[in-house]
Amino acid sequence: MNVESNALPIRKLDADDMPLLMELEAAAWAGPLRASEATIRRRLALGHTMLGAIDGDALAGTLCFTETSQDPLVRADFPTNFDAFASLPRSEPVHSLYAYNLCVRPSHRGGNTAIRLLKEMEHHGRRLGARWLIGDGRCSAYAGSSGDEDDDDQVRSDPRFRATIDRWNETGIRPPLEKIIRDPLLRLHYRVYDCEFLYVMPDFFPQDAASGGFRVISAKDLKK
Ligand SMILES: CC(C)(COP(=O)(O)OP(=O)(O)OC[C@H]1O[C@@H](n2cnc3c(N)ncnc32)[C@H](O)[C@@H]1OP(=O)(O)O)[C@@H](O)C(=O)NCCC(=O)NCCS
């Protein structure tokens, strides 16, 4: 497939796009992981940017982020859970983009929508002169997706990956890259950005059973 010729347009979304956002949220995320309309409105009011890939009257995918003056390398200041991470108000000077909620509608998976959304955020960060692109990477290979009717993810549990995450969490010693990118989503981040992985965050998103509640924080240094 010539993916570029099929590339869907990407634009910034706003409160007028709420019906599209809610519909995508229900299509792309299993129940416990969905954001409510009130939460999405609050994030927009905090100054977050929501990029949407548009397919006709529907959203094929989104990627959301906040522009922040935070330095992600200061571990003590890093948000300790997803709610805090996705509730940071926009702040200046913009040093980092903290990204969350990368998702693609199941019918549109397997194309290049996720990659194009990530690349669009990179362009945005470079235009602003930001230093870091930060992502809270799900790591569904930890326990595997449930396969429930509600859950379109098809990530298998990987006991070796799980042991890597548990050891990283226990010792604080970052594992070698090849062990981290056994997980498909973390591999996607690495492939798109050539990023590093800063932290393993326990209890970051406890409802995310596939990831054992963990998130792995990815970091792309735009000055490298
Ligand atoms: C993760 C997601 C955005 C990937 O979009 P996609 O269109 O399926 O991506 P692609 O088909 O281009 O595949 C890109 C990579 O993602 C991996 N991937 C596919 N489905 C995945 C899934 N459900 N979870 C994690 N990674 C997945 C693929 O293995 C592929 O990597 P590889 O080629 O190295 O194996 C999409 O599966 C999704 O929306 N999942 C539900 C929401 C989610 O988990 N988002 C991640 C938030 S951190």
Q: What is the pLDDT of residues 143-170, one digit of tens each?
A: 999 777 667 788 999 999 999 999 999 9
The superfamily (CATH) of domain 1-136 is: Gcn5-related N-acetyltransferase (GNAT) (3.40.630.30)
Task: Give residue-wise pLDDT tens across range 50-64.
Answer: 999 999 999 999 999
Distance between Cα 181 and ligand 1 center (Å): 13
Task: Please state the domain extents for the chain.
Answer: 1-136, 137-195+204-216+220-224
Could you give the 3-state DSSP secondary structure of residue 102? strand
The DSSP bridge pattern shows strands 196-201 and 215-221 to be antiparallel
Quick check: 90 and 128 in contact, CB under 8 A? no
106 CA to centre of ligand 1 in angstroms: 10
- % residues pLDDT > 90 (the chain): 93
Distance 185 CA to ligand 1 centre (A): 6
Asked if 139 and 211 count as a contact pair (C-beta separation under 8 A), the reply is yes
pLDDT of residue 2: 38
Can you give the pLDDT at residue 6?
67
Q: Helices 37-45 & 18-28, crossing angle to 10 degrees?
A: 120
Mutate to test the pocket of ligand 1, among 188, 195, 201, 208 (most ligand atoms within 8 A of CB): 188
| pLDDT score at 1 | 36
When pLDDT is cut at 50, 70 and 90, the band that residue 208 belongs to is very high
Type of residue found at 13: L
175-187 pLDDT, tens digit per residue, is 999 999 999 999 9
The pLDDT tens digits of the residues spanning 81-125 come to 999 999 999 999 999 999 999 999 999 999 999 999 999 999 999
Give the pLDDT score at 149: 66
Please check the confidence at residue 135 and state whether its pLDDT lies above 90.
Answer: yes
Q: How many CB atoms lie within 10 A of CB 189?
A: 26
What local confidence, expressed as pLDDT, does residue 153 receive?
Answer: 80
Residue 4 has pLDDT above 80, yes or no: no
Asked whether the predicted pLDDT for residue 133 surpasses 50, the reply is yes
pTM of the model: 0.94
